[in-house]
Amino acid sequence: MCSTGKRKTDLRALVTILSLTVSIFSFAQKDSTEVIVRVSLDHPQWNYALQEKARFTIAVSRGGKPLQPASLHYEIGEEQLPPLKSSDVAVKNGVVTIEGGTLVKPGYLRCTATVVMNGKKYRGLATAAFSADSLQATATMPADFLSFWNSALAAARKISLDPKMRLLPERSTGGINVYEVSFQNERPGSRIYGILCMPKKEGRYPALLKVPGAGVRAYRGDTALAEQGMITLEIGIHGIPVTLPNDVYYNLAFGPLRDYYFFNLDNRDQYYYKRVYLGCLRAVDFLVSLPQTDSSRLAVYGGSQGGALSVVTAALEPRIKYVAALYPALSDLTGYLHQRAGGWPHLFAAAAPASLKTKEKIQTAAYYDVVNFARLLKIPGWYSWGYNDEVCPATTSSVVFNTIQAPKEKLLVKEAGHWLTPQQNEAVNAWLRNRLLANPAQ
């Protein structure tokens, strides 16, 4: 492989390990010596009508004071597509305003600005939404979509769960027990592992399934929500224990599981995500098998890959009553084939290898595209994303939300990228508590 290709693959792997993890983004105070490139728009909510012109203002500062770099480079274009305009401009008194243009069809227009100071590059961006509520899916649902998944799930459920639970006393508290658990998935010997947190007090409790962002890692479980009176199960997807040393996961991420999201994409029965989607559904089976679970109060929650898995699980499992999904991945994957951003892992992007863009792989992707699961949702849901997300484009999050016909709420955090902000974290936990804890079992 050429060095450029290797660097791109390494970057993609790092994104998988780091960027797609659902974690609270730390808004630590910036170092006073750090250069800040801040991009904003002339509409405070960054929302525009079609053919309305957007103006981007770029401010460069250090320690809160305007900074005048030698020059600034900016690019403006639709998400994930080649820039429509690109230029170097002079900056006076630390600020420059750029005429960004407009869009004539629904979408997102982004300005990315970079400056170089003392050999280091600094970057900022802002994204304008143009009639994003009108964005429609490019993905189409195969005629046998639902029968394919119903058949696969029925076959998986013929396999005994064979559940195993190992108490983790060092993680348990006076109020909850924490276990590493595992259970069989879609075939004998294939297991799903996770961390189960359960109140010690006798009784029946609501349960929350937390599904993971992309990557290969250990898990701690959600002890905070368990302490508040619910059972939580946080699962991994790769069929390996979730309490191993970190170097094990690192070696797997850069070795056998590198780019797992491309594995067997040309075969709908062998694609990697088949066992993943089924594993999430078997996790519901496991939760319901626990005598402490109040099966009338079940929810699923995740972000990025986990946002995708949340929608999939809620669409196929009628025992799930609530769904919360942030910036769902694997959504409207064929957007790139229609000159628009597609979802992570960007299977059909212009820069993706031609070997990915075959008829067989495009057909397989339709069975795993989150948009098609969103069409099946019937339960209340909470959704959130940021306009500046460069991993799971706002375009695809909007498409998923617009496709859903079930009761739905959304929280837009326009400046947010691919991370969970404190605002989102507080809001989603409150939404889940209000639904799961407000209606105790009769």
How far apart (Å, rounded) are the C-alpha atoms in residues 303 and 326? 4
How far is 237 from 320, CA to CA, in rounded Å? 19
CB neighbour list of residue 74: distance below 8 Å, 6 or more residues apart:
56, 58, 86, 87, 89, 98, 111, 112, 113, 114
Tell me the residue type at 184: Q
> From CA 337, how far away is CA 138, in angstroms rounded?
9
Place of tokens 């050999």: 119
Q: How far apart are CA 177 and CA 318, in angstroms?
A: 28
Largest CA distance in the chain: 69
Q: What strands, in cross-sheet order, belong to the sheet with 408-412?
A: 164-167, 176-184, 191-199, 231-235, 205-210, 293-303, 322-326, 381-385, 408-412
Strand partners, 75: 86, 112
Separation of alpha carbons 324 and 301, rounded Å: 5
Helices 272-289 and 305-316: angle between axes, nearest 10 degrees: 60
Q: Give, as one character, the DSSP assignment of residue 167.
A: E
- Is 304 noted as a catalytic residue in this protein? yes
CA pair distance 229, 171, nearest whole angstrom: 17
Sign, Cα dihedral of 350, 354, 359, 363? negative
**Is 355 an annotated catalytic residue?**
no
Q: For residues 304 and 117, give the distance between their C-alpha atoms in angstroms, rounded to a whole number.
A: 33
The token pair that represents 164 in the structure block: 């195993």
Contact 179, 163 (CB under 8 A): no
On whether the CB atoms of residues 131 and 159 are closer than 8 A, the answer is no
In the set 304, 310, 384, 397, the catalytic residue is 304
Total residues found in the chain within this entry: 442
Q: What are phi and psi of 212, to 5 degrees?
A: -90, 155
**Residue 98, strand partner residues:** 56
**Sign of the C-alpha dihedral, residues 138, 40, 213, 381?**
negative
Instruction: Looking at 111-239, list the stretches that DSSP marks H as alpha helix, in order from N- to C-terminal side.
Output: 145-156, 223-227
Pick the catalytic residue from 238, 384, 397, 418.
418
- Please say if 238 is a catalytic residue: no
331, 389, 397, 398: the catalytic one is: 389
Position 201: which residue type?
A: K
Q: Which residues are catalytic?
A: 304, 389, 418
